[in-house]
Chains A and B, each alone.
Chain A
Amino acid sequence: MSYLESNLKQVPTGMRKILFINWPLVILLSAVASVGFLMLYSVAGGTLETWSEPQMKRFGVGMAAMFAVAFTPIWFWRNISALVYLVALVLLLAVEFFGAIGMGAQRWLELGPIRVQPSELMKIAIVMLLAAYYDWLDVDKVSRPIWVLLPVVLILVPTFLVLMQPDLGTAVLLVLGGGLVMFAAGVSLWYFGTVIAIVVALVFAVLESRGTDWQLLHDYQYRRIDTFVDPAADPLGAGYNITQAQIALGSGGWNGRGFMQGTQSRLNFLPEKHTDFIFTTLAEEFGFIGASSLLLLYAGILAFCIHAAVTNKDRFSSLLTLGIAGTFFLFFGINMAMVMGLMPVVGVPLPLVSYGGTAMMILLAAFGLVQSAHIHRPR
């Protein structure tokens, strides 16, 4: 009998659970999603039907999923986390063989009427699995090489599959998301230092190999790196997107150009303005006030999660909450850094704001896990 199960006397049951939900978190999530609806309405040129309305419906479904997940005891989720990981892995393999091609990459799987992106599911599955793994593992063994190697393999297998699609953004998210849980679980900092050193060395190798016989990346990938380093060098080619995005962002000023008044988005200068680059429209139309407000909402969500994590006495719950919050952080952090020109362009959407069904619903379900951990915390 685990510590958790022995301390369950106080855990609420039945409909009483609704009182123990972390309501501020629900409100924050809804607020962020509402920003999304507003911006999707704007980039669609003032129409609801194009993107905003379908997004609202998905948000509704996602919310329902969140509550369903939240009301299910957290130990159930812990027990099936390995299964979830396996299912996600099988789906990823299926994409490899039967997937649909979108934007030059294989990402979707057609399951009857619905289209799923297994890589989205994997982002959460890896966090669940690693949280369960460290819950099971003796705290003293956490930093022993053999017990470090196992989670690394569990992270790298799906990462490899995602890279095959190819989807660099998701691959980065999987590695960082998994690493985050390992970090939270207390794996020795030496490991992280070593990995960072290796990565830096690798980046050097990649850059040095350019133009030689053993060139490590595709030419277009190098061009992306160039673009990142100096987007202005080729304002009409590869750097066009990022230059236009920065112009949109910067021209917002203090309070923006007004709702539906952004010339960059109106005049179609912005690429992918309803998905990855939606933040630029927000920044253009609502300025620094609007953009930093969204950043504050995100920070608020993180704060609630971290607080819930450190106060929760259950190891799985804490790690899961930290992992999900961390993944969420990676989403918006990478997206914003990307559109602000702090990072190369990788396809990562702005969570809960960018148009996209699977990502939004899975993210809300993941927050359901956070809620479940909160409701069913040992008292």
Chain B
Amino acid sequence: MKQTERTVRESQIRITRRGLMLGGIQAAVIGTLAMRMRKMQLEEADNYRMLAEGNSVKIRLIPPARGLIYDRNGVLLAGNEQNYRITITREDTEDLEKVISDLRRLIPMTPAQAEEMLEELRKRPPTVPVTVADRVTWEEFSRVAVNAPALPGVTPEVGLSRIYPRGDDCAHILGYVGPVSDYDLSKIENPDPLLMIPKFQLGKLGVEAKLEDDLRGKAGQRRVEVNSAGREMRELGRREGTPGENVQLTIDYQLQNFCLKRLGDESAAVVVMDVTNGDVLACSSAPSFDANLFVRGISVKDYRELTQDDHRPLADKSVQGLYPPGSTYKMVTALAALEEGLVTPEETIYCRGFSEIAGRRFHCWKRAGHGYLNLSQSLEQSCDCYYYELSQRVGIDKTSAMAQRLGLGIRPDLPMSAVQEGLAPTKDWKRSRYGQEWLIGDTINASIGQGYVLASPMHLAIMTARLASGKALQPNLIRSENGVETPRPEAAPLGVRPENLTYVRRGMNAVVNGRHATAGRSKIAKAEWKMAGKTGTSQVRNITAAERARGVISNSQLPWNRRDHALFVCYAPVDNPKYAVSVVVEHGSGGSTAAAPIGRDVMLFALAGGKPPMDAYPSSQRGRIQTMYEELDLVDPATVQNAGTSRA
């Protein structure tokens, strides 16, 4: 394209004209922007500043309702109740001390509490409302509400607080909630903003702690417009939170309550397990405590009482208590020997009251000796020498392998606090733990559940359920969450030859129903509910040779805390097992006298689904049993059901 000087000049003039026009337009727009900026930032600045500072939109969290916890029949175990509280937001007060001294004229408060409150308020960010009085009465609440305009920053609030309507009965399983602490926060990565609300209730122990994430729910939000004094002017929007998930336990509340009542003043634990699927129906530890005390903030005096009690109410003995299982361990030794083919059910072994092994004398509990015994008889009469012999044939490692197969020495997978692993000792274990070689005496002790062997009542219940079912059952505690059934995988077979299990079961049957039965006094008279079991008495002290020479002192002469532990495991009905029960009575002296009767009563209560009919007991015992039930003061099933449904 040819361009002449003229066209170039013409185009230049035109571009210059248009360019300047563009520049003019742009200058006009920039001027407009500047004017707008001037108007907003200079003329209306105060207005906007107020919007930004005082009259702005604030977001307040709405704490969700914590998920409820029910028993397997819908009885409410953990609920929420409304409570009235007073909060102060530091940001909105001008003179904090004056506000608090004004507040003290309306609600009772000691100078120490007021001081503590001031400190708490100063520690928290100014925007966070701090609860200064919890669980105030309606009168106090309304007194503060009426005077609110004179108390800047003070807000009377209605909130939800955890309550355990069933008091002591499930305290160990449920645990409790408490106000979130700095320590709690330090353990959580990226904590939920809800947890920043002071005194927000967080699960501290038990199911409340283990299922915290499911129970807590999601916070809702309120968008509120507040004035320059921080008082809410209006609610602009609200998004409700999601309440926590409701959890249903496998626990049968009535049975749980019965167990605890039946244990009475003992320091003891009972576990009831459904043999068909592993559901834990009851898991009681006596004595118990009132979890509500912890929610409200336990007093120093109450707390000291709980911690100084030698029956240790705060400990959950059912899963945290570890005991030498004593003779209840004999099934393990027997089964290990049977599986290895080192003994036959018919073979008899001679008991003369003691065995000499490696130059040491190991005594049978019956000093006179049992004479010749086969497997079933050895269990029935709980002969020790028989098991000393078997354990030497099998060796510790194979015995402990069988123990693990039966669930001992493995931590039960339960959403409870401090669930113990127990111990099924091996040679390697002793070497790494103590740096010592395993001795034959250790094997002998382990064969009758003494020495290093340790199990909790939960372990024993699992063992019994596995023996009764022939399946590797796992314990379940959670039945469903928000109505969705918790999947229970089909239990794998135990991997033990069925005939060997039959031999052991036959022996356990004889323990209760045999001619020389150790637990014969605790048999069930009703034919279709017949029970099989095993007693155990485990030493908590060593009997020295000197002591033995003097004559072993009977338990009743010893101080309480040096007496033997009494244990009992059982399942029933014998022909078609439904439930497995384990009982441990700390320092209860004898398995057959202290633990077996409890085991039978619990078993009957489970089988009958309530107070059992008297014809289940041998006729000679009915009078005594009848009196016992009358004294137990059990909960009325009707009130439990009604309370459960009305709360739900």
Residues of A within 8 A of B (CB): 2-3, 136, 138-139, 180, 183-186, 235-236, 246-254, 263-264, 269, 283-284, 287-288, 291-292, 295, 298-299, 302-303, 306, 309-310, 313, 315, 318-319, 322, 326, 329, 333, 336-337, 340, 342
Contact B41 A252, beta carbon cutoff 8 Å: yes
> What is the CA–CA distance of A329 and B44 in the complex, to the nearest angstrom?
27
Interface SS majority for chain A? helix
Residue of B19, B22, B23, B56 most packed against chain A (CB within 10 A):
B19
Contact A254 B45, beta carbon cutoff 8 Å: yes
Contact B34 A329, beta carbon cutoff 8 Å: no
Contact B20 A306, beta carbon cutoff 8 Å: yes
Contact B49 A186, beta carbon cutoff 8 Å: no
Contact B41 A247, beta carbon cutoff 8 Å: no
Minimum CB–CB distance for B224 against chain A, Å: 10
Contact with A along B14-37 (1 / 0, CB 8 A): 111011111100110110111011
> What is the CA–CA distance of A236 and B57 in the complex, to the nearest angstrom?
9
> What is the CA–CA distance of A379 and B210 in the complex, to the nearest angstrom?
83
> What is the CA–CA distance of A291 and B29 in the complex, to the nearest angstrom?
15
Known: A247-B48, A298-B30, A329-B29. A306 touches B19 (CB 8 A): yes
Residues of A within 8 A of B113 (CB): none
Considering only CB atoms, which chain B residue lies closest to A184 in the complex?
B18
Residues of B within 8 A of A263 (CB): 52-53
> What is the CA–CA distance of A313 and B3 in the complex, to the nearest angstrom?
12
Interface status of B484 (Cβ within 8 A of chain A): no
Minimum CB–CB distance for A363 against chain B, Å: 17
Residues of B within 8 A of A306 (CB): 19-20, 22-23, 26
Contact A254 B33, beta carbon cutoff 8 Å: no
Considering only CB atoms, which chain A residue lies closest to B23 in the complex?
A306
Contact A291 B18, beta carbon cutoff 8 Å: no
Known: A322-B19, A329-B29. A251 touches B14 (CB 8 A): no
Contact B11 A315, beta carbon cutoff 8 Å: yes
A299 touches which of B27, B40, B223 (Cβ 8 Å): B27
Minimum CB–CB distance for A371 against chain B, Å: 18
A250 touches which of B8, B15, B47, B236 (Cβ 8 Å): B47
A246 touches which of B10, B29, B40, B223 (Cβ 8 Å): B40
> What is the CA–CA distance of A318 and B3 in the complex, to the nearest angstrom?
16
A-B contact count (CB 8 A): 141
Minimum CB–CB distance for B397 against chain A, Å: 57
Contact B1 A136, beta carbon cutoff 8 Å: yes
> What is the CA–CA distance of A186 and B21 in the complex, to the nearest angstrom?
11
Q: How large is the interface on B (under 10, 10 to 19, 20 to 34, 35 or more residues)?
A: 35 or more
Minimum CB–CB distance for A4 against chain B, Å: 9
Q: Could you pull out 14 A-B pairs where Cβ atoms are within 8 angstroms?
A: A183-B21, A186-B11, A247-B51, A250-B52, A251-B49, A251-B52, A292-B38, A310-B20, A322-B15, A322-B18, A333-B30, A336-B33, A337-B33, A342-B36
Residues of A within 8 A of B40 (CB): 246, 249-250, 340
Residues of A within 8 A of B432 (CB): none
Q: A236-B237, A264-B52, A318-B15 are in contact. List 19 more A-B contacts (CB 8 A).
A: A184-B15, A186-B11, A186-B14, A186-B15, A246-B40, A247-B48, A247-B56, A249-B37, A250-B40, A250-B41, A251-B49, A291-B37, A292-B38, A295-B33, A299-B27, A309-B19, A313-B8, A322-B15, A322-B19
Known: A299-B27, A306-B19. A139 touches B48 (CB 8 A): no
Interface status of B110 (Cβ within 8 A of chain A): no
Interface status of B7 (Cβ within 8 A of chain A): yes
Residues of A within 8 A of B10 (CB): 139
Contact A253 B36, beta carbon cutoff 8 Å: no
Known: A184-B22, A340-B40. A139 touches B14 (CB 8 A): yes
Contact with A along B221-244 (1 / 0, CB 8 A): 001000000000000110000000
Interface status of B147 (Cβ within 8 A of chain A): no
Contact A288 B38, beta carbon cutoff 8 Å: yes
Contact B15 A288, beta carbon cutoff 8 Å: no
Minimum CB–CB distance for B291 against chain A, Å: 39
Interface status of B553 (Cβ within 8 A of chain A): no
Interface status of B638 (Cβ within 8 A of chain A): no
> What is the CA–CA distance of A141 and B119 in the complex, to the nearest angstrom?
83
Contact B42 A288, beta carbon cutoff 8 Å: yes
Interface status of B626 (Cβ within 8 A of chain A): no
Interface status of B482 (Cβ within 8 A of chain A): no
> What is the CA–CA distance of A136 and B7 in the complex, to the nearest angstrom?
13
Considering only CB atoms, which chain B residue lies closest to A321 in the complex?
B19
Contact B19 A288, beta carbon cutoff 8 Å: no
